[in-house]
Amino acid sequence: MNEQKTNPLGTEKISNLLLRFAIPSIIAMVVSALYNMVDQFFIGRSVGMLGNAATNVAFPLVITCTAIALMCGIGGAANFNLCMGQQEKEEAASFAGNAITMLFSLGMILCIITRLFLKPMMILFGATSSVLDYSLIYTGITSLGFPFLILTTGGTNLVRADGSPKFSMTCTLTGAIINTILDPTLIFGFHMGIAGAAWATVIGQVVSGIMVILYLRKFKTVKLTKEKLRPHPHYIGRIVSLGMAPFFNQVSMMVVQIVMNNVLIRYGAKSSYGSDIPLACAGIITKINMIFFAINIGISQGLQPIISYNYGARKLDRVREAYLKAAISATIISTVSFICFQLFPRQIIGIFGSESEAYFRFAEKFFRIFLFCTFINGLQPITANFFTAIGKANRGIFLSLTRQVIFLLPLMIILPIFFGIEGVMFSAPIADGFAAVCAITFAVKELKSFQKL
C-alpha cells in the first residue's frame, strides 16, 4: 500500500503527468516518423521523383515493423503498469521480460522473410518497372535494421512504463540525429545515392537499439532475470491481447498503403497524370500525415501508463480526467495540422524537390481532399489505446480497425470505380468522419459506466 500512495502515477496532478510522459513520447514518435521524412527529403533532391516513389513502395514494411513493435511494446507496458498498480511486481517483471524476448525474436524473423522474398514484395507493394530497382536497393539495405527498429520502437514503451520517459525519447532522438547527419554525407559526399540514405537509416537504428538494450538490462522498478525473459504462453497471450489494438491499427495502415499504391497506379494510368506522379505524391503526403499522426500516437502512449496504473488501483476519477485531457489536447493539435494542410500544401510538397506543374497540381488537390478531416483524427488512436490501457482489448481492437479497414479500405476500392482517381482522395475524409463518431460513442459509454463502479 505504501508504494501505491507514493507512486506519482497514482498521486501526481494529471496534467503534470501527461506533460511528463506525453511530451517525450511525442518527440520520440515524431522523430521516428522523421526517419522516413529525412530520407524522402534527401532522396528527392538526389534521385528525384522515382526515388521518392521507391521509399513509398518500401513503406509498408516500415509500418509492419511499427505494428510488431507496438503490439509487443504497448501490450507489455500496459500489462506491466496494470500489475504494478495492483502491487504484483513479479507478474509485472514477467510481462516486461516476455515483451523484450518477443521484440527481438520477431524483428529477426521479419528481417529474414523480407530478404528471402524482397522482389515479390516490392512488386506486390506497387513498384512500377521504373521504380523497382530503386526499391530493391533501398529495402534490401534497410531490412537489415528491422530488428533494431522494432526493438527501439517497442522497447521505448517499456522504458517509459518503467518511469523513464526522457530516456525513452533520447534513444529515438539519438538515432534520428545520426540518420540526419549521415544522409547528406553518404548520399552526396560519398555519392552513394539511395543506398546511402538506406545505410544512414540502418546505422541510426542500430545505435538506438543498443541504447534500449543497455537500459533494459537494468530496469528501475523490477528485476529482470533470465527467467523473466524466457517465453511463456500465458504472458505472451496477455501481451498480444492488449497489444492487438495498436498492432491492427498499423497493419490496417499497411494494407491501405498497399491497396492505395495499386489503385493509384491503375487509375493514374487512365488520367492525365500517369502512374508515377500519383505514386510519388501519395508517398510524400502519407509520410507528412504520419508525422501528424505520430503526435497523437505519442499522446496515447504517454497516456497509457497513467491510465493503466490508476485503473489497476481503481482510481477511476483520475482515469476519466486523464482520457479527457488527452482527447482535448489531440483535437487541438489536429485542428492546427488541418489548417496547415489546407493553407500550405504546395509549400510543404515543395520541400521534397521541384517537379513538373502537373506533379504539384495533383499533389495540392490530393493534399487538401485526402486530409480534409484531419481535425478529428486524434480521437480514434487516443480512444483505442484508452481501452487497451484499461485491459478491454476487444474494444480497442475494434476501434483501431474502424478508420483503415472497416471504412477506408472499402471506400478506396469502390469510389474510384465511379469517380476515378479522385475517388481515392475522397475516401479518406469520409472514413475519418465515421471513425470519429465510433470513437466518441464508445468513449462516452465507457466513461458513464465508471459512475456505476
Instruction: Quickly list DSSP for 373-422.
Output: TGGGTTHHHHHHHHHHHTT-HHHHHHHHHIIIIIIIHHHHHHHHHHHTTH
397 and 360 in a single domain? The answer is: yes
Higher pLDDT, residue 175 or 289? 175
Segments in 269-408 forming alpha helices (H):
276-312, 316-343, 345-350, 357-370, 379-389, 393-401
What distances in angstroms separate CA 448 from CA 106, 119, 271, 329, 400, one per listed residue?
Answer: 39, 51, 50, 21, 21
225 and 153 in a single domain? The answer is: yes
Domain-embedded: residue 3: no
Per-residue confidence band for 446, with pLDDT thresholds at 50, 70 and 90: very high
209 and 315 in a single domain? The answer is: no
Triad 43, 47, 52: Cα angle to 5°: 55
Residue at a domain's end among 187, 207, 230: 230
291 and 414 in a single domain? The answer is: yes
Q: In whole angstroms, what is the distance from residue 307 CA to residue 80 CA? A: 12
Residue at a domain's end among 230, 251, 269: 230
163: left (phi over 0), alpha (psi -120 to 50) or beta: left
Domain-embedded: residue 181: yes
Higher pLDDT, residue 208 or 389? 208
**Domains of the chain: total:** 2
319 and 437 in a single domain? The answer is: yes
176 and 271 in a single domain? The answer is: no
Q: What φ, ψ does residue 232 adopt, rounded to 5°?
A: -135, 130
Which region among 68-77, 244-253, 332-341 has the lowest average model confidence (pLDDT)? 244-253
- The contacts of residue 2 (CB under 8 Å, 6+ apart) are none
Q: Is the distance from CB of 282 to CB of 261 less than 8 angstroms?
A: yes
Domain-embedded: residue 266: yes
Query: What is the DSSP track for 131-197?
Result: THHHHHHHHHHHGGGHHHHHHHHHHHHHHHHTT-HHHHHHHHHHHHHHHHHHHHIIIIIS--THHHH
Domain-embedded: residue 4: no
Domain-embedded: residue 272: yes
202 and 132 in a single domain? The answer is: yes
Domain-embedded: residue 238: no
Q: In whole angstroms, what is the distance from residue 253 CA to residue 434 CA? A: 16
143 and 264 in a single domain? The answer is: no
223 and 314 in a single domain? The answer is: no
435 and 341 in a single domain? The answer is: yes
Per-residue confidence band for 36, with pLDDT thresholds at 50, 70 and 90: low
* Burial label, 167 (beta-carbon count in 10 A; 0-12, 13-18, 19+): middle
224 and 260 in a single domain? The answer is: no
40 and 150 in a single domain? The answer is: yes
What distances in angstroms separate CA 297 from CA 100, 230, 301, 386, 440, one per listed residue?
Answer: 21, 30, 6, 11, 17
Helix (H) or strand (E) holding 240: helix 233-268
- Owning domain of residue 297: 243-452
Residue at a domain's end among 230, 258, 273: 230
Average pLDDT score over the chain? 89
**What are the tens digits of pLDDT across the range 138-156?**
999 999 999 999 999 999 9
Return the amino acid letter for 144: L
Per-residue confidence band for 244, with pLDDT thresholds at 50, 70 and 90: confident
* Highest-confidence segment of 2-6, 309-313, 328-332: 328-332
Domain-embedded: residue 318: yes
Domain-embedded: residue 389: yes
